[in-house]
């Protein structure tokens, strides 16, 4: 045991939690969730992180770090027309789909065949609204926003991982000092609130399916890649089954999808955590302990966010998604032959259109895959003609 193990796990947990908590608040508001339901969401998802990270790391003796689906939160927050009950139904279906993916290899192989450019184009379209939303906060409250934006870009020069968390802490202090917070809420322990799911077809197609694809493509696959880059061979099927199971158990309490971590995992899998790769698994249980503490005080944190200026929540959410947005755009445009499909997917997603009660993310996938199929067919015909002429 080394102090570096505890330090790495704690930093990873605080960055992952504090940097994206505002996204849960934004997603819950988009679904019309009450403060009690939002607190239950935070509590349940933190318990999912605590259990899955601790058990997987201990059982397989490697630093298997889990997280909540940040792109999934952006997708939920950008969705229109869904209730909290319908979202819970979608979360349950997504969890079952992830479990099935872990159990049946051909399904995971099929998902992996979806062009990364199309999946990234959809994710970029979802994230764009949050990034633009952060920019729109400037004229609304320049006194609050400008110093925080400047702080974000200065901290990012030295420690990108801590930039959003620093802005969050500074924003809360600034709001309190400036009298922007009417009254601090009383501390309270968290509780879980049962939310009866509603299984609506539009929510299954417009929310569950995109959430599943975004989670697999933008969270699970990069998460496994981080572990492999650190010299580990992760048990992919078991990881999908466990994260899917905890997602299934916590969904009725409001929690969205659990999955493999990427950025947080990078902080726990390198030599800074422990020089001996065989001992780095210890970061998992300590990471889980941090999330257990977050779960206990989740209700108080949600109550605090409820009294903060709304513009601060929008700003933090947008700043937290700048890096994922850049990464999504880079991946979307990486392959020249797939750029048209990626841009079509991006444009349809960003448009926010709703057809037949189904949101833009689904139609973007349909459009992007159709264009990709046409481009692939065109390439096949070109190859045939070249062989015939030869």
Q: Can you give the residue ranges of every domain in the chain?
A: 3-335
Which of 136-150, 160-174, 374-388 is the least confident region?
Answer: 374-388
Which of 74-78, 203-207, 266-270, 308-312 is the least confident region?
Answer: 266-270
CA distances, 358 to each of 82, 114, 257 (Å): 10, 21, 20
Res 381: pLDDT: 64
- This prediction's pTM: 0.83
Which one, of 288, 227, 279, lies nearest residue 2 by Cα?
279
301 or 61: whose pLDDT is higher?
61
Buried/exposed code over 147-165 (b: 16+ C-beta within 10 A; e: otherwise): ebbebbeebbeeeebbbbb
Q: Tell me: the pLDDT tens digits for 330-367?
A: 888 988 888 999 999 999 988 888 887 777 888 888 89
Measure the CA–CA gap between 361 and 365, rounded to whole angstroms. Answer: 6
Which one, of 333, 269, 351, 334, lies nearest residue 4 by Cα?
269
Radius of gyration of the CA atoms of the chain, in A = 21
Taking residue 326's Cβ as centre, other Cβ atoms within 10 Å add up to 13
pLDDT-derived band at 17 (thresholds 50, 70, 90) equals confident
Which of 28-37, 48-57, 318-327 is the least confident region?
Answer: 318-327
- Using the predicted structure, report yes or no on whether residue 298 has a pLDDT greater than 90: no
Do residues 308 and 327 lie in contact, with contact meaning Cβ atoms separated by under 8 Å? Answer: no
Q: Tell me: the pLDDT tens digits for 61-82?
A: 999 999 998 888 988 988 888 9
High-pLDDT (> 70) share of the chain, %: 97
Mean pLDDT (the chain) is: 88
Mean pLDDT in residue range 208-215 = 90
Q: How long, in residues, is the chain?
A: 390
pLDDT-derived band at 386 (thresholds 50, 70, 90) equals low
Do residues 19 and 168 lie in contact, with contact meaning Cβ atoms separated by under 8 Å? Answer: yes
């Amino acid at each position: 045991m080394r102090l570096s193990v505890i330090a790495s796990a704690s930093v990873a947990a605080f960055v992952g939690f504090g940097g994206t908590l505002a996204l849960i608040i934004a997603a819950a508001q988009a679904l019309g969730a009450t403060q009690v339901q939002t607190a239950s969401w935070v509590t349940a998802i933190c318990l999912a992180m605590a259990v899955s990270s601790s058990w997987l790391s201990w059982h397989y003796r490697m630093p298997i770090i889990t997280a909540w689906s940040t792109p999934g939160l952006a997708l939920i927050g950008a969705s229109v027309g869904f209730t909290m009950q319908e979202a819970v139904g979608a979360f349950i279906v997504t969890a079952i789909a992830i479990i099935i993916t872990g159990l049946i290899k051909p399904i995971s192989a099929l998902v992996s065949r979806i062009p990364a450019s199309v999946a990234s184009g959809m994710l970029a379209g979802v994230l764009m609204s949050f990034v633009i939303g952060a920019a729109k906060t400037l004229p609304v409250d320049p006194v609050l926003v400008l110093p925080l934006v400047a702080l974000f870009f200065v901290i990012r020069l030295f420690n990108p991982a801590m930039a959003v968390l620093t802005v969050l802490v500074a924003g809360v202090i600034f709001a309190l000092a400036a009298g922007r917070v009417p009254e601090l809420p009383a501390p309270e322990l968290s509780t879980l609130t049962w939310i009866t799911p509603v299984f609506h077809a539009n929510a299954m197609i417009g929310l569950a399916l995109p959430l599943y694809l975004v989670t697999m493509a933008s969270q699970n696959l990069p998460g496994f890649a981080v572990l492999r880059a650190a010299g580990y061979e992760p048990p992919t099927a078991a990881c999908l089954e466990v994260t899917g199971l905890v997602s299934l158990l916590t969904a009725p309490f409001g929690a969205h999808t659990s999955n493999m971590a990427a950025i947080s995992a990078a902080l726990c899998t390198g030599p800074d955590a422990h020089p001996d790769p065989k001992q780095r698994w210890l970061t998992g249980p300590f990471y889980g302990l941090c999330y257990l503490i977050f779960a206990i005080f989740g209700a108080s944190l949600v109550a605090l966010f409820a009294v903060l200026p709304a513009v601060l929540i929008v700003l933090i959410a947008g700043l937290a998604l700048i890096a994922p947005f850049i990464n999504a755009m880079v991946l979307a445009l990486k392959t020249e032959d797939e750029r048209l499909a990626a841009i079509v997917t991006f444009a349809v997603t960003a448009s926010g259109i709703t057809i037949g009660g189904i949101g833009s993310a689904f139609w973007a996938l349909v459009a992007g895959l159709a264009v990709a199929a046409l481009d692939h067919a065109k390439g096949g015909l070109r190859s045939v003609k070249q062989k015939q002429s030869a």
